[in-house]
A and B are shown apart, each in its own frame.
Chain A
Amino acid sequence: MTNVTLNPQQPKTAEMAQRMDEVKGRSLWADARTRFLRNKAAMVSLVVLVLVAGFAFFGHALSPWDNETIDWDVLGNVKEMGKPSLANGHFFGFDDSGRDLYNRVVQGTRISLMVGVVGALIAVFVGTTYGAVAGFIGGRVDNAMMRFVDIAMSIPYMFVLILLLVVFGRSIGMLFVGIGLTAWLDMSRIVRGQTLSIKNKEFIEAAVATGVPWFTIIRRHVVPNLLGVVVVYATLLVPQMILTESFISFLGLGVQEPLTSWGALISEGTSTMGYGTLWQLFFPLGFFVISIFAFFFIGDGLRDALDPKDR
């Protein structure tokens, strides 16, 4: 094919262009990153969250104590002798059973974050696959799959979760199963809707017209355009998972001793509130509130960054 020139200047420009380096484009991802980095609340939250995560994984190294040893001297007199103190290395004081609260909070943070992140990942994985398949195939399959989701959603999930934990015993595994059973439903609806709208875009039609195989279309055209929504929803799902887990643990049905979580620690803290050992409530509660806030701010920041039209 020879050069088609639209105007007399063009050959010159084309030659010049050949000598010039390739211009780097700015992808939508790069745009979103800039927008996200400019969002102060989200950036502060990100730093806070990194600190909390660091606390969860390396916090025990800072303390001379561990999370199991019971200090029998303190046990009967936690209110007087169990106060937080930098001097004796019990930074957050003692819990009601005479254990070092700092290390208990480290342990609880680790478990709560794990439940949140793993739960959200499961929900995202299952929900995205389910929703994308339903949306892409469409028709009767879509109808059947989404009616199933409707039915599953109409069941009060807290009730099911509590029943599961009561019937099959209280364990983290059961908690994952219970939360996982319901958390993917919303995700699958969102992804299905998004897939439907992407499926009808002209660039998909262009790919079909060219003869691109359908799995390549999903991989190359559908998934990258879904990713923004999925990422946003996943970050908002993590605090939701943590809240659910904490609520269940607060009720005493979730994480069991000797393991602990934010919800379990807060539960213990509230039960001893009347004895004046308020630090047992405020330390886990502080971490809980700060982390939940941070997750929500990051989620909001991501949504603003990835979908500027939706503000």
Chain B
Amino acid sequence: MKDVTAPILRVDDIKVWFDVKMPGSWPWTKPRKLKAVDGVSFELNPGETLGIVGESGCGKSTLARAVMQMAPVEAGNVVWLGDELVGLDTGQMRKHRKEMQMIFQDPLASLNPRMTIGQIVAEPLKTHHPNLSGAEMKDRVRDVLDTVGILPNLVNRYPHEFSGGQCQRIGIARALVVDPKLIICDEPVSALDVSIQAQVINLLMKLQEETGVALIFIAHDLSVVKHISDRVMVLYLGNVMEIAPSAGLYANPMHPYTEALISAVPIPDPKLEAAKEVMLLDQDLPSPLNPPSGCVFRTRCPIAEPRCAETKPTLAHKGDDHQVACHLR
């Protein structure tokens, strides 16, 4: 899995800012900038799974959309297989969309209720292989449905006739049908029951083993991310706090934010859970409209020092592929 080849995706200091109009402001006043993603860089190797974790509103989904060129990228580069994606028009981008697909959070909402699942799964094929004959397309759709564990004779059914887990499998089939090199999973399991979560995750891992597809797996459930990811990236307020191989991050979290996150993971054993010490953070997430100066985490950091307010820490290598953005660690 971790063969030393060139990364398929390189994200370079990407920034996504949204214009936010203050309520009651005049039409000509300048909108304020919401810094949803503020300078994130990472690389993704073929066949690798990168987990992205962070609390709500930290920019996980926006980052994913920025990679797909579905969010306004303010600055930075996204290099996909050697091609720069930022600034491409829709026609040029369409070529690349075939190779990067997406799975969404709400399984039912991500399927058009007026289309049969056969039509839904065939849509990427129709878009990227318009020359395929009807029969070939049908065969391919049935193959893929079979792969994800949906009986192919159900192609004429509609999404509302399936359960949440089945709908998510159909979503995976839609992503898989064009043989992508990367699938971005935007919280694919957070709307599902725990037992179904396991099925879907195992399915994803199995598919990855067989097709060698790379995954970007976004979640806020740390144990899920640990299970599936090779490397994990911790985001906070649009900034990377820590990137490390999954095992290293969980065994040896270096950033105080990661420590707090990991200490909050519930242990499925009441005795251990009661004895466990949770590192609680003060205050709420600061507004991304008005992020703290210096290190964005300093307002809630238990070990913050005056210099944290002055300069923003950069990601520094701490050995073993482990990178941390903290002045003190």
Q: Are B152 and A1 in contact (CB under 8 A)?
A: no
| Minimal Cβ-Cβ distance residue in A for B124 | A210
Q: A202 touches which one: B68, B97, B110, B149 (CB < 8 A)?
A: B110
Residues of A within 8 A of B101 (CB): 209-210
Q: A208 touches which one: B70, B116, B152, B161 (CB < 8 A)?
A: B70
| Minimal Cβ-Cβ distance residue in A for B159 | A203
Residues of A within 8 A of B68 (CB): 209
Interface membership of B111, Cβ < 8 A: yes
| Interface residues as binary, B126-156 with A (CB distance below 8 Å gives 1, 0 otherwise) | 0110000000000000011011110111111
Residues of A within 8 A of B199 (CB): 6
Q: A25 touches which one: B106, B146, B157, B174 (CB < 8 A)?
A: B157
Given A23-B156, A28-B160, A209-B97, CB of A4 within 8 Å of CB of B70:
no
| Bound CA–CA A193/B105 (angstroms) | 24
Residues of B within 8 A of A13 (CB): 151
Identify which of A14-22, A44-52, A84-92, A95-103 touches chain B: A14-22
| Interface residues as binary, A194-224 with B (CB distance below 8 Å gives 1, 0 otherwise) | 0000000111011111111110100011001
A291–chain B nearest beta-carbon distance, Å? 32
Interface membership of A225, Cβ < 8 A: yes
Identify which of B39-47, B202-210, B273-281, B309-317 touches chain A: B202-210
Q: Are B114 and A224 in contact (CB under 8 A)?
A: yes
Most central of B114, B115, B154 by chain A CB within 10 Å = B114
Q: Are A4 and B109 in contact (CB under 8 A)?
A: no
Residues of A within 8 A of B123 (CB): 207, 210, 212, 220
| Minimal Cβ-Cβ distance residue in B for A200 | B109
What total of chain A residues lie within 8 Å of the partner, measured CB to CB?
Answer: 38
| Minimal Cβ-Cβ distance residue in A for B169 | A6
Q: Are B97 and A210 in contact (CB under 8 A)?
A: yes
| Bound CA–CA A213/B97 (angstroms) | 12
Q: Are A6 and B109 in contact (CB under 8 A)?
A: no
Interface membership of A3, Cβ < 8 A: yes
| Bound CA–CA A205/B102 (angstroms) | 9
Of residues 74 through 131 on chain B, the ones whose CB sits less than 8 Å from some CB of chain A are 90, 93-94, 97-98, 101-102, 104-106, 109-117, 123-124, 127-128
| Minimal Cβ-Cβ distance residue in B for A216 | B127
Residues of A within 8 A of B128 (CB): 210-211
Interface membership of B158, Cβ < 8 A: yes
B145–chain A nearest beta-carbon distance, Å? 10
Interface membership of B287, Cβ < 8 A: no
Question: Which bucket holds chain B's interface residue count?
Answer: 35 or more
Residues of A within 8 A of B116 (CB): 25, 27
Residues of B within 8 A of A221 (CB): 112
| Bound CA–CA A209/B124 (angstroms) | 10
A221–chain B nearest beta-carbon distance, Å? 5
Residues of A within 8 A of B149 (CB): 4, 6, 10
| Bound CA–CA A6/B156 (angstroms) | 23
B28–chain A nearest beta-carbon distance, Å? 13
Q: A14 touches which one: B94, B105, B151, B211 (CB < 8 A)?
A: B151
Q: Are A17 and B153 in contact (CB under 8 A)?
A: yes
Residues of B within 8 A of A206 (CB): 102, 104, 110-111, 171, 174
B30–chain A nearest beta-carbon distance, Å? 15
Q: Are B153 and A18 in contact (CB under 8 A)?
A: yes
B137–chain A nearest beta-carbon distance, Å? 15
| Bound CA–CA A203/B154 (angstroms) | 20
| Bound CA–CA A3/B147 (angstroms) | 5
| Minimal Cβ-Cβ distance residue in B for A29 | B114
Q: A28 touches which one: B94, B98, B158 (CB < 8 A)?
A: B158
Residues of B within 8 A of A27 (CB): 114, 116, 158
| Minimal Cβ-Cβ distance residue in A for B110 | A202
A212–chain B nearest beta-carbon distance, Å? 5
Q: Are B94 and A1 in contact (CB under 8 A)?
A: no
Interface membership of A26, Cβ < 8 A: yes
Residues of A within 8 A of B114 (CB): 27-29, 224-225
| Minimal Cβ-Cβ distance residue in B for A143 | B27
| Interface residues as binary, A147-181 with B (CB distance below 8 Å gives 1, 0 otherwise) | 00000000000000000000000000000000000
Residues of B within 8 A of A14 (CB): 146, 151-152
Q: Are B210 and A203 in contact (CB under 8 A)?
A: no
Residues of A within 8 A of B176 (CB): 1
| Minimal Cβ-Cβ distance residue in A for B151 | A17
| Bound CA–CA A214/B104 (angstroms) | 20
Q: Are A211 and B147 in contact (CB under 8 A)?
A: no
Residues of B within 8 A of A202 (CB): 104-106, 109-110
4 A-B pairs closest in CB distance: A211-B97, A25-B157, A202-B110, A211-B94
